[in-house]
Amino acid sequence: MRFGSLNAFLTDGKALLAKGPVALVFAEDPVEVDTTLRHHMTAGFTQTILLAPEGIEAGPEMAEKTHRIVYDVHAENAVFDAVNQVIAAAPGIWLYYCYNAEYLFFPFCETRNVRDLIAFHVEERRDAFLSYVIDLYADDLERFPDAVSLERAQIDRSGYYALGRPDAANHNHPKERQLDFFGGLRWRFEEHVPPLRRKIDRIALFRAKPGLVLRGDYTFDDEEYNTYACPWHHNITTAVLSFRTAKALRSNAGSRFDIHDFRWHNSVPFQWHSHQLMDLGLMEPGQWF
């Protein structure tokens, strides 16, 4: 189905939010829109919804299997506003959001779907998953000037770190079970990335509830949603494999001509498999075996 605006979707398409999990894909450009939609549809989301401006469309196959909302994703706070409106319209429903050329991975996703993942998490009384946004980039920027190639994708195998998340309401003491995570291209090329955009953590998959608000730093106003684990043991974490930073560094005039290669001594080919991410410590299975 196609909707001319987000308001039209929330009015006429609200039935699509009756059962989750629902994936919201925000397309900033035409790059890998179809593969993003297909990846999340195959992962087991009940509905996969594309939000994009006029002129950015899914191919015929994906357009037939997914839903389309005309939406200006480049407006200020557009993604956060849209997610918050959907939260308000779908209490109790599990939601996921990402950008185009981003791909959700979770432990054992080759043999288990996202509904299996959520079912286990719910048993552990958890309402949100911490996701690490792991940068993807092509291995040859002359051949792939926009830094995007699924077949030649690279990731950093190391160079990730975490810092305590200060609590301004408590004399900047670290918040309980919360960390700010860094690494990847945002760390290696930090001179081209504003400080507020250098974190690589995102609460990408979560259960909506009345009053819940997604903030502009990809965290929620309910602090428990922002934790990486419950108090008694480690929980599952997920990864969002993303070409978004590489695309931005290659399209921005301030960085494009300074960066000739994203590869370094810790670059490895991405195998498109959850075991690689778990082996590198970029994803946590928790108690899910």
Domains and CATH numbers, the chain: 1-100 (3.40.50), 102-289 (no CATH)
Q: How many residues does this entry show for the chain?
A: 289
- Residue 254: is its pLDDT beyond 90? no
Instruction: Taking residues 232-259, report their average pLDDT.
Output: 94
Using DSSP bridges, classify how beta strands 238-242 and 102-105 pair: parallel, antiparallel or unpaired. Answer: antiparallel
Amino acid sitting at position 101: A
d(CA 17, CA 95): 9
Higher pLDDT, 119 or 253: 119
Of 137, 138, 136, 131, the closest CA to residue 105 belongs to 131
Which residue is listed with tokens 């030649």? 152
| Residues in contact with 92: Cβ distance below 8 Å, sequence separation at least 6, in sequence order | 207, 208, 209
β-bridge partners, 154 = 137, 269
Rounded CA-CA distance 49/26 in Å is: 9
Buried b (16+ CB within 10 A) or exposed e, 47-78: bbbbbbeeebbbeeebeeebbbbbbebeeeeb
Q: Are 194 and 90 in contact (CB under 8 A)?
A: no
Hey, what are 231's tokens?
Answer: 């108090």
Q: How far is CA 8 from CA 3, 5, 23, 87, 288, in A?
A: 6, 5, 18, 16, 40
In angstroms, the CA 48 to CA 267 distance is 32
Q: Output the pLDDT for position 208.
A: 98
In the three-class reduction of DSSP (H, G, I as helix; E, B as strand; rest coil), residue 40 is classed as helix
pLDDT at residue 289 above 90?
Answer: no
Q: Give the pTM.
A: 0.96
Instruction: Indicate the helix (H) or strand (E) that contains 178.
Output: strand 173-182
Residues 117-169: tens digit of each pLDDT: 999 999 999 999 999 999 999 999 999 999 999 999 999 999 999 999 999 88
State the Cα–Cα distance between residues 104 and 244, nearest whole angstrom: 13
- What would the pLDDT profile of 165-216 be if each residue is shown by its tens digit? 999 888 889 999 999 999 999 999 999 999 989 999 999 999 999 999 999 9
